[in-house]
Structure 1
Amino acid sequence: MDLQLSQFFESLHWANYFSLPIMAALIGWATNWVAIKMTFYPLTFRGVSPFLGWQGVVPRKAEKMASIVVDRTITRFGNMDDVFQKLEPEKITAQIISQIEPRIEEYIDEIMYEQQAVLWDNLPLSIKNKVYQWAHTQIPRRVEGLVADFGSELSELIDVKELFVEELKKHPELMVRIFKEVGDKEFSLIVKSGLLFGFMFGFIQIPLWLAYGEFWMLPVFGFIVGFATNWLALNVIFRPLYPRTFLGMTFQGLFLRRQDEVSDVWSRLVAEELITVERAANAMVFGRYANRTRAIIQKHIRPMLDQAGILKLVAQLTVGASGYVDLKRALNNKAIEVSVDPFHDPSFNKSRSAVVAAAMSDRMKSLSPPEFQDVLRPAFQEEEIQLMLIGGVLGAAAGIVQWLVIFS
């Protein structure tokens, strides 16, 4: 009986030893899972600034990533005029005309009732119809010239990097969603790989534990497992830069190995969510270079009344010189006000986004491995040591729990 009890407790003793690789596997899985979560969340800083708290690495580094993405992709197409040509200016012109022309009479009524309501109410319908007809014939030509001018001066009218950064400031969740969709396969594999890496580290612990068996070893082992598995997980994304063959198998960083696929997904999401025609138009009209944009609009719109012949004469006779100037100013302001309306069309934005995405994707696919990793890695690089230390601390805590539950 005593022999049987001795054998039973001896089997429990060895089972405890084999709990080491199991616990190490769980630590590896858990710390990798935490590292991935902390890469993306929380979207805003939580805690006591500046050190007692955390913000997800990707939302915190969104501005830096935005600058690098633009430098590595958009600005390498050539000048912004090349980008504009890819958007097919004739389609932009057609879109503006198709959205504005049906409302020309509404816009004219709004201007006239604001400036000269009594006069407009008392004008014969035949005169009003001539004004409407004149506007319908003028608008297509004016819009065509306006779009051409915008295209030739696009570099002076919009700062793509600023647009990108500002959108990410307002919507940090966008970069998180883009990054998660781009790296979904890699992040899932990293979490699962923690089990394997941790299990292997656990087997290394067994002979050391048999030889020494000190309490402090378990939290130290846990720290090493948590730190090392996070280090391995973060590095397999981007290392090695170039394909390397070992034992007949080819290895390369997970993102780098899927460069073409990642480029397509990344470019599509950036073009659809961040650098849309609608956002670009808003940036031109209301952004840093709005005055230049408005000057171009004025250049094309204000001469409309001056070249209106009999309509100009009637206007000057009825409202006077100052009233005529006010009328031209109101016409220009209305043109600015409605200038972004044609780009609220989701289907048009989507069609132009596809063009931008294709151009951006082609550029990303042509990047060398070091350049390609520089588009994505800044989100991790400066925070890698923190993520690894957090993994180590969690692993050490798990080691203490392991001692209390199993070995104490």
Structure 2
Amino acid sequence: MSIFGDFAAHWQVYLSMPVIAAVIGYLTKRAAIEMMFRPMRFVGIKEPWLGWQGVVPRHSERMIRISADLLTRRLVDPDEIFRRLDSDRLAKEIEGPLLVAVDEITRDVMARYQSGLWDLLPPFARDLIVKQVQASSPLLVKRIMAEIQEHIGEVLDIRQVAVDALTRDKVLLVGLTRDISRPEMAFIARCGVYFGLFLGLIQTVVWAVTKNPLVLPLFGALIGWFTDWLAIKLVFFPRRPRRIGPITLHGVFQRRRDEVAKQYAAIVAREVMTVPNLLDAVLRGPRADRLLGMIRRAVEETIDEQAAAVRPVIAVAVGTKAFGELKRAAADRAVRYLPDTILHAKDYATAALDIRDTIATRMRRLTRIEYEGLLRPAFRQDEWKLIAVGAVIGALIGELQVLLLLH
């Protein structure tokens, strides 16, 4: 029977082949996409290594290092962003909780270290002392802010802020990668359909000529392998627009630079470089001792200035040694109150630091290779495995197709 006669007799079979090839292309792409992000933990037998863990979760430590390096070297300059904070505005933002904190600190420290003298004072005199200390609190805020802004590089390891935030929650890293690559993932799935359909037409012709049962699993493997490989390449390459006849080729991820910059910056500002995270790193991070020393010094200097007019009286009534202990106790208590007090200015600090727009603007200045580094590491390490899985799935579906056609 001729090829045309066979086609007329079994047209349903021939028409189904490119459709099934398109399905193979789509399914292998969906499998590759899901294997990028799932499962979060290894599933299988580790010895020997039989199983799978999502590519992004599996290589999270390396991706975290890459993201943190990019953020700190090219996108966020601590000196620049912290100088945007205005100490007068900050003092005004935290005025209410600051006055309450000063009131509590003053009364507690005086009652603890100078209980005899404090008990002898009438209530109005105690209130007067408290108000005097409260009046100096804006000066204290300025001093502390000046110390932080002057020595921010010494007291804040901003790379560690990024590493800690991303390490603390792997779901955050996976979500960050998945969110900025969502259009690319959709593009890969669509490519599977188009490329699969095209190769399926070739497969149909080969089948019509040879009738060889090996054609279907071989083409299934080829479709799975080639469409995975080509789709991943087209996500990133070419890096610059390249015109080939009427068609302009440009890597999908490279083409979306402005959109990705906004999205990435918004996620980092909302989840990673937040005011609470930065504050926690400054006050509790590996360099916190330096800042705490600066704050104690600023508190003690402020107390000295306020007490300058009555220093002879203090020397007699309190004693130089006791006065020194009182200053240190006040400084330590101020450090303890500082985190909760400053967090009342979170909205102002977030707007002033302007981390989101800063990152978005600087991302647009990255080289094409640096920009590609946001997403490319998620694919590069296990790219061959994703492609191989696509080939295996394609071959299995092709073999299933043989069984259905011949039996």
Q: Which category describes the TM-score, using the shorter chain as reference length? A: 0.7 to 0.9
Give the letter aligned to residue 132 of structure 2: W
Residues 241-298 of structure 1 deviation map (CA, whole Å, 9 limit, x = unaligned): 0101122332211111111121111112111210112211100111110111111111
Q: 1:276 to 1:126 in 2, by over 3 A?
A: same
Whether the 8 Å CA contact 2:35–2:54 is kept in 1: the answer is: yes
TM-score (norm 1): 0.87
Residue equivalent to 2:53: 55
What are the equivalent positions in structure 2 for 1:36-51 lying under 5 Å apart?
A: 36-49=33-46, 51=49
Asked if the contact 1:35/1:387 (under 8 Å) is kept, the reply is: yes
Flag the 1:398–1:348 CA change in 2: closer, same or farther, 3 A.
farther
Is the 8 Å Cα contact of residues 90 and 345 (structure 2) preserved in structure 1? no
1:396 CA drift (Å): 2.1
Partner residue in 1 for 2:375? 376
Q: Is the 8 A contact 1:70 1:161 kept in 2?
A: yes
Offset of residue 18 of structure 1: 2.7
Question: 3-state DSSP class of the match of 2:366?
Answer: coil
Distance 1:95 1:406, change over 3 A: farther
For residue 47 of structure 1, give the secondary structure of its aligned residue in structure 2.
Answer: strand
Q: Which residue of 2 aligns with 1:192?
A: 190
Report the CA distance between 1:359 and its aligned residue. 1.4
1:252 and 2:247 equivalent?
no
Q: Which residue of 2 aligns with 1:213?
A: 211
Q: SS at the partner of 2:374?
A: helix
Identify the match of residue 148 of structure 2 among 144, 150, 154. 150
Q: Does 1:365 align with 2:364?
A: yes
CA shift at 1:26, angstroms?
0.9
Aligned residues: 401
The answer to whether 1:395 aligns with 2:394 is yes
**Paired residue type of 2:361:** D
| Match 1:33 to one of 13, 19, 30 | 30
Tell me if structure 1 keeps the 8 A contact 2:221–2:392.
Answer: yes
CA-to-partner distance for each residue in 1:195-239, whole Å, 9 max, x for gaps? Answer: 111111111212222343344433332222122221122112111
Change (3 A) 1:304 1:191: same
CA change 1:200–1:99 in 2 (3 A) is farther
CA contact 1:305–1:312 (8 Å) conserved in 2: no
Once the 2 structures are TM-superposed, how far is the Cα of residue 88 of structure 1 from its aligned partner?
5.0
Match of 1:3 in 2: none
Residues 19 and 197 in structure 2, CA contact (< 8 A), matched pair in contact too: yes
Distance 1:273 1:360 in 2: 13
| 8 Å contact kept, 2:76–2:359 | no
Change (3 A) 1:312 1:205: farther
CA distance, structure 1, for counterparts of residue 160 and residue 315 of structure 2: 44
Counterpart AA for 2:237: R
In 1, distance between residues paired with 2:76 and 2:403? 64
SS in 2 for 1:245: strand
Moved more, 250-259 or 118-127: 118-127
Structure 2 contact 93–345 (Cα < 8 Å) conserved:
no
Q: Note the 1:159-198 alignment, pairs <5 A.
A: 159-198=157-196
The unaligned stretches of length 5 or more in structure 2 are none
Partner of 2:138: 140
Q: What is the CA–CA distance in structure 1 between the aligned matches of 2:114 and 2:54, rounded to whole Å?
A: 57
Q: CA deviation at 1:9?
A: 9.3
- Are residues 213 and 71 of structure 1, via their aligned partners in 2, closer, same or farther at CA, if it must alter by over 3 Å? same
**Which amino acid counterpart does residue 164 of structure 2 have in structure 1?**
E
Q: Indicate conservation of the 8 Å contact 1:131/1:311, yes or no.
A: no
Distance in 1 separating the partners of 2:57 and 2:329: 43
1:276/1:306 CA distance change after superposition, 3 Å: same
Instruction: Give distance in 1, aligned partners of 2:227 and 2:178.
Output: 20
- Residues 81 and 154 of structure 1 are in contact (CA less than 8 Å); yes or no, is this contact kept in structure 2? yes
Q: 1:118 & 1:11 partners in 2: Cα distance?
A: 110
Are the equivalent residues in 2 in contact too, given 1:218–1:403 (CA < 8 A)? yes
Using a 3 Å threshold, how does the CA distance of structure 1 residues 402 and 289 change in structure 2: closer, same or farther?
Answer: same
Q: Which moved more, 1:389-398 or 1:176-185?
A: 176-185
Looking at structure 2, the residues matched to 349 and 41 of structure 1 have their Cα atoms a distance apart, in angstroms, of 37
Letter in 2 for 1:75: R
Question: 1:374 & 1:19 partners in 2: Cα distance?
Answer: 41
- What are the equivalent positions in structure 2 for 1:299-338 lying under 5 Å apart? 299-307=297-305, 308-309=307-308, 323-338=322-337
Q: Is contact 1:267–1:357 with CA below 8 Å preserved after alignment?
A: yes
Structure 1: runs of 5 or more not aligned = 1-6
Structure 1 residue aligned with 2:286:
288
Residue type of the partner of 1:259? R
CA distance in 1, matches of 2:329, 2:258: 51
Question: What value does the CA root-mean-square deviation take over the aligned residues?
Answer: 3.0
In structure 2, the partner of 1:23 is 20
Partner of 1:348: 348
Deviations 1:302-332 (A, max 9, x none): 2344342477677766666665444333222
Matched, 1:339 2:338: yes
**AA matched with 2:326:** L
Kept after mapping to 1: 8 A contact 2:87/2:141: no
Q: Percent identity?
A: 30
Tell me which moved more, 314-323 or 392-401. Answer: 314-323
Q: Which residue matches 2:385?
A: 386
